[in-house]
Amino acid sequence: MPRYNPAVIEPKWQQFWETHATFQTPELPQGEKLYVLDMFPYPSGNGLHVGHPEGYTATDILCRAARMQGKTVLHPMGFDAFGLPAEEFAIKTNTPPRESTEKNIDTFRRQLKMLGFSYDWDREVATTDVDYFRWTQWIFLQLYDTWFDKEQQKGRAIAELPIPADVQAEGPAAVQRYQDEHRLAYQADALVNWCPNLGTVLANEEVQDGKSERGGHPVVRIPLRQWTLRITAYADRLESDLELLNWPRSVKKLQSDWIGRSTGAEVDFYIGAADDYAAWKKARAAQDFPAQPGDDALRIYTTRPDTLYGATYMVIAPEHPFVERLTTPENAAAVKAYCDKAAGKSDRERQEEKKKKTGVFTGSYALNPVNGEPTPVWIADYVLISYGSGAIMAVPAHDIRDLEFAQQFDLPVTAVVDPGPDAEDRDQVLAGEACFAGHGVAVHSGDYDGLSTADFKVKIAGDLAAAGMGSPAVNYKLRDWLFSRQRFWGEPFPILHELDENDQPTGVIRTVDEADLPVNLPHLDDFKPPGTPEPPLGKAPHDWLYQTIDGVRYRRETNTMPQWAGSCWYYLRYIDPKNSECFVDPAKEKAWMPVDVYIGGVEHAVLHLLYARFWHKVLFDRGHVSTPEPFQRLINQGMILGEPELNGYQTSDGQWVSAADAVVDEEQGAVLQEGTGAALSEVKLEPSQVEKKGDSFVLVDDPSIRIDHRAFKMSKSRGNVVTPDEVVSEYGADSLRLYEMFMGPLEATKPWSMNGVSGVKNFLDRVWRLIVDDRAEEMTLSDAVQDVEPTADQNRIVHKTIQAVTSDIAGLSFNTAIARMMEFVNAFTREKVRPKQSLETLVLLLSPYAPHIAEELWSVLGHADTLAYESWPEFNEELAADSTIEIPVQILGKVRAKLQAAPDISQADLEQAALADPKIAEMLAGKTIVKTIVIPGRLVNFVVK
């Protein structure tokens, strides 16, 4: 096989690695450790597409290079296999979800092995493995057994919770109720996004425009008893500890914004009987601000207590418990209709800034604590029950949403903060015609007039506290985590509910003993959700559903955990996946943690990472792990889009419309003709129907019609999915890996191009021919490969390449490292004598990127064993000292790309490097190069037709 044939080479070396357990990780690190983690995939029935391996290839390059640099590497893989998609597929095909899930895992595993990733497959886990979710259930029990000590700012065992004497006096049942109220895992009634068609509760992020993200089914808000995790107790630590992490600034901001910490005050507005107001004020002044407002006060949270005098109305959320109480009979019908409509909207939809403000008047008033003024109470869906107290004082002069609402319903606007004489819109603000949200000087605020905002805040806080009307407060946008799902395919809760003699729950909860874990899923012939909040596990066999312990009858919890549960801790199980005594051996955990590098999509920037950090901190507080944070460095790879599509637009009578005149109407979900508003149909065009004109594509039959040239996310619906199987079949796994890294920076979004894959395959062909005599009948070295010392020029190229590739791997600049190796190959291809040791260096540098061809060439160069643990090449700084320059590449005189190259790069090498650039290769596809202008060190320009 003298010619390069990946179809033969790649299976050969994959089999070698598996047979020899090449990438098996020792139990404990030997020397410096490196734990590199991929966000593990959800094994769907579609298998991988070429967008998935991008991050996996990046981590594999890091790991292969690190092994050669002497580090002990932990590089595992597993599968996040519980969840809604598998269950929906199971219902649709009447296939048990475990059966279809394990089949999907087999497909994913085959594809991952086909791409040559150096995972330690002996450490593979799936969240659906019974011996895995046994420990997921165990961790839930730790959450259930933990309360948060605010003074110590840490989680502690529930047995250490101080019990007030009056509670102890009431007996064991009262003590248990008190403990249950403080547990990190607790049950509570909550308003949830209920989707009858899917038969489960959905997170806010899974709802769009009042419909489920999956399937587009209607979603309503209903109260439901739910298991909830008290993540809010850790809000401060989750935010402050972001400073400990080497994460992208944008991701840290997303998490910080999601937590949404703010400081302000809680203030009570009186809503009791008017005759009792004086007595209420007197009683409040004689006591501390109460923890609960009582039935005669409406509590609000505000970050601006200095604007209390500007509160011209109040707003409560449609779900606020005082809605019925505050609604007068004449407003009852309107209030009910409004609240029913609001129940069909997600929190995200209600918070959209562009939407028109809506609301309804309750007919009642509350008394402002600073001036006793009656303040009308409205209901509006832009206020959420999940934030603060679910009620606000509205100050339209100093809050834009309040101003929009006031203008919509003709409510008064009173300015109480003077922005100062230098403000451009000062007159409009003071006249109530514009909003000013900044700091200034108090006006129209009684005795506080003339105070600066900062001084006013301090004084009003003290005065409110003295009057028993308010108190300083810290608030968060973060809500406690709704942890129940009304579906079958998820981890069962290790919880038993006590029943009375009539088989009704008593409210007493018992946990399953640790020795009795795992609680496995029962076999169900019918696992379809019934369309009501009663989960499918309610149909489980009697002997699974009911238990009698010590003469007491119990019913198992029939909700299941959400898919997030298994992914919250999988990185820990990889360290010790076969341990049946504990979830991870403490010595191994201490040796391997934290994860040094974590790579995955930015779509998990908030929830998965926040949830995993929360679980980890609880485990840290309880002494089960040794680090306060799980993931030290985070990298988000960019998305790989499908090949760019050529789209034209036509009117109903078939007339073409230029792309410049086609406008997407997001509300209607349609493309309209600008000016006329006529609906346009989108037509996919073949390359033969268009031609390039400047920066655009135009219709061949009518060059005045400009065509869209856009790349979209890969999806079955668009028909633009490219699978690894088809690419590997035609070009090989090494070409796929190399192209995904050569497309551009790892974090960038990039369109796929088969021409680009072909280009890097040509490069690997050239690497092969550099070393192997592909004209011989037997596998043999090229005659040019000789066991001689390299020349000074050759040595310089070698050391510059080692330096560049080493630095680029450390900086995750994989595309530029490949460009460096291309320059090496270009230079040595022209050499009549190619020193063997120089080519061995190239093979070692190439091996993390294209491991199969590198292993084969290493063998051809005379080595008997794998190169996986060969020493990484070292460079001489003096020989590698030359800097690089940036050289523009033009097509028809316009710069289309820029290359990094040595200042003395030859004319031929510069031309080859330009042709190898994926962007240039794509733009030249199908074109004839009439002339190539190369000015070494300056530019490359292709004249084409």
Mean pLDDT of the chain: 92
| pLDDT higher than 60, residue 667 | no
Q: Are 814 and 739 in contact (CB under 8 A)?
A: no
pLDDT at 532: 78
pLDDT at 45: 82
pLDDT in tens, 241-276: 999 999 999 999 999 999 999 999 999 999 999 899
pLDDT at 93: 84
- The angle at the Cα of 263, spanning 259 to 269, to the nearest 5 degrees, equals 115
Question: What count of Cα atoms within 13 Å lies in the side-chain half-sphere of residue 276?
Answer: 10
Report d(CA 845, CA 553) in Å as an integer: 66
The identity of residue 36, as a single letter, is V
Report d(CA 423, CA 415) in Å as an integer: 14
> Residue 718 — pLDDT band, cuts 50, 70, 90?
low
Report d(CA 857, CA 684) in Å as an integer: 44
Tokens of 568: 């919250």
CA 408 from centre of chain:
37
pLDDT at 529: 81
CA 350 from centre of chain:
22
Closest residue by Cα to residue 13 from 731, 845, 768, 866: 866
Pairing of strands 885-891, 894-901: antiparallel
Closest residue by Cα to residue 736 from 6, 4, 15, 41: 6
Q: Are 359 and 315 in contact (CB under 8 A)?
A: yes
Cis peptide before 724 (omega within 30 of 0): no
> Residue 682 — pLDDT band, cuts 50, 70, 90?
confident
Q: Which CATH class is domain 882-944?
A: alpha beta
Terminal CA-CA length for the chain? 39
> Residue 817 — pLDDT band, cuts 50, 70, 90?
very high
Strand partners for 202? 193
| pLDDT higher than 90, residue 883 | no
Strand locations in 326-386 (E) = 360-367, 374-379
Listed in sequence order, the residues at least 6 apart from 586 whose beta carbon sits closer than 8 Å to its beta carbon are 624, 626
Strand partners for 148? 155
Please give the average per-residue pLDDT across 544-573, as a whole number: 96
> Residue 775 — pLDDT band, cuts 50, 70, 90?
confident
CA 263 from centre of chain:
27
Report d(CA 293, CA 289) in Å as an integer: 9
pLDDT at 189: 84
> Residue 211 — pLDDT band, cuts 50, 70, 90?
confident
Report d(CA 364, CA 374) in Å as an integer: 9
pLDDT at 12: 97
Dihedral class, residue 911 (left if φ above 0, else alpha if ψ from -120 to 50, else beta): alpha
| pLDDT higher than 60, residue 353 | no
Residue found under tokens 């633009």: 720
Listed in sequence order, the residues at least 6 apart from 348 whose beta carbon sits closer than 8 Å to its beta carbon are 204, 205, 207, 208
| pLDDT higher than 80, residue 876 | yes
For 175-220, the three-class secondary structure string (H helix, E strand, C coil) is HHHHHHHHECEEEEEEEEEEECCCCEEECHHHEECCEECCCCCECE
Pairing of strands 262-270, 220-229: unpaired
> Residue 350 — pLDDT band, cuts 50, 70, 90?
confident
- Percentage of the chain modeled with pLDDT above 70: 97
pLDDT at 662: 86
Cis peptide before 594 (omega within 30 of 0): yes
Instruction: Encode burial over 896-929: b for 16+ CB neighbours within 10 A, e otherwise.
Output: bbebbbbeebbeebbbbbbbbbbbbbbbbeeeee
Tokens of 260: 């949404």
Axis crossing angle, helix 733-742 with helix 6-19, rounded to the nearest 10: 90
| pLDDT higher than 80, residue 209 | no
Between these two residues, 812 and 696, which has the higher pLDDT value? Answer: 812
Report d(CA 406, CA 396) in Å as an integer: 6
Please give the average per-residue pLDDT across 107-122, as a whole number: 97
Inter-residue long-range contacts of 699-706, CB under 8 Å, 24+ positions, other chains counted: 699/648, 699/656, 702/656, 704/658, 705/648, 705/656, 705/657, 705/658, 706/658, 706/659, 706/660
CATH 1.10.730.10 in the chain, residue ranges: 778-881
Q: What is the dihedral of CA 751, 756, 757, 759, to 10 degrees?
A: -170
Q: What is the DSSP string of 788-821?
A: SPPPHHHHHHHHHHHHHHHHHHHTT-HHHHHHHH
Tokens of 264: 């302000």
Which CA distances in Å does 212 have to 172, 203, 759?
A: 44, 10, 42
In eight-state DSSP terms, residue 631 is B
| pLDDT higher than 80, residue 444 | yes
> Residue 54 — pLDDT band, cuts 50, 70, 90?
very high
Between these two residues, 900 and 213, which has the higher pLDDT value? Answer: 900
Between these two residues, 217 and 22, which has the higher pLDDT value? Answer: 22
Q: Are 690 and 707 in contact (CB under 8 A)?
A: yes
> Residue 230 — pLDDT band, cuts 50, 70, 90?
very high
Q: Lowest mean pLDDT of 311-315, 787-791, 857-861, 896-900, name the range.
A: 896-900
Identify which of 428-432, 584-588, 880-884 has the greatest average pLDDT.
584-588
pLDDT at 129: 97
pLDDT in tens, 79-104: 999 988 888 888 888 889 999 999 99
CATH superfamily of 778-881: Isoleucyl-tRNA Synthetase; Domain 1 (1.10.730.10)
Q: Are 98 and 109 in contact (CB under 8 A)?
A: no
User: Beta-carbon neighbour count of residue 350 at 10 Å?
Assistant: 18
The topology under which CATH files domain 273-472 is Isoleucyl-tRNA Synthetase; domain 2 (3.90.740)
Please give the average per-residue pLDDT across 805-818, as a whole number: 95
Tokens of 667: 């509300």
Between these two residues, 516 and 84, which has the higher pLDDT value? Answer: 516
Based on the number of CB atoms within 10 Å of its own CB, is 578 exposed (0-12), middle (13-18) or buried (19 or more)?
exposed
| pLDDT higher than 70, residue 526 | yes
Phi, psi of 400 (to 5 degrees): -65, -35
Report d(CA 111, CA 728) in Å as an integer: 10
Q: Lowest mean pLDDT of 106-110, 326-330, 343-347, name the range.
A: 343-347
Please give the average per-residue pLDDT across 560-589, as a whole number: 97
Q: What is the dihedral of CA 348, 349, 355, 358, to 10 degrees?
A: -110
pLDDT in tens, 454-511: 999 999 999 999 999 999 998 888 889 989 988 899 999 999 999 999 999 999 999 9
The identity of residue 632, as a single letter, is Q
> Residue 424 — pLDDT band, cuts 50, 70, 90?
confident
Please give the average per-residue pLDDT across 395-402, as a whole number: 94
Q: Is 281 annotated as a binding residue?
A: no
> Residue 700 — pLDDT band, cuts 50, 70, 90?
confident
Pairing of strands 645-650, 679-684: antiparallel
CATH 3.10.20.590 in the chain, residue ranges: 882-944
Report d(CA 916, CA 472) in Å as an integer: 63
Please give the average per-residue pLDDT across 37-58, as a whole number: 92
Between these two residues, 665 and 45, which has the higher pLDDT value? Answer: 45
Pairing of strands 391-394, 313-316: antiparallel
Listed in sequence order, the residues at least 6 apart from 87 whose beta carbon sits closer than 8 Å to its beta carbon are 97, 487, 488, 489, 527
In eight-state DSSP terms, residue 584 is S
Q: Are 469 and 514 in contact (CB under 8 A)?
A: no
Based on the number of CB atoms within 10 Å of its own CB, is 391 exposed (0-12), middle (13-18) or buried (19 or more)?
buried
pLDDT at 717: 62
Listed in sequence order, the residues at least 6 apart from 717 whose beta carbon sits closer than 8 Å to its beta carbon are none
pLDDT at 204: 66
Phi, psi of 650 (to 5 degrees): -130, 150
pLDDT at 666: 57
pLDDT at 796: 92
Q: Which helix (H) or strand (E) holds 575?
A: none
pLDDT at 669: 64
CATH 3.40.50.620 in the chain, residue ranges: 6-127+564-583+595-636
pLDDT at 605: 81
| pLDDT higher than 70, residue 355 | no
User: Beta-carbon neighbour count of residue 258 at 10 Å?
Assistant: 17
CATH superfamily of 6-127+564-583+595-636: HUPs (3.40.50.620)
Closest residue by Cα to residue 386 from 569, 597, 228: 228
> Residue 55 — pLDDT band, cuts 50, 70, 90?
very high
Report d(CA 60, CA 772) in Å as an integer: 26
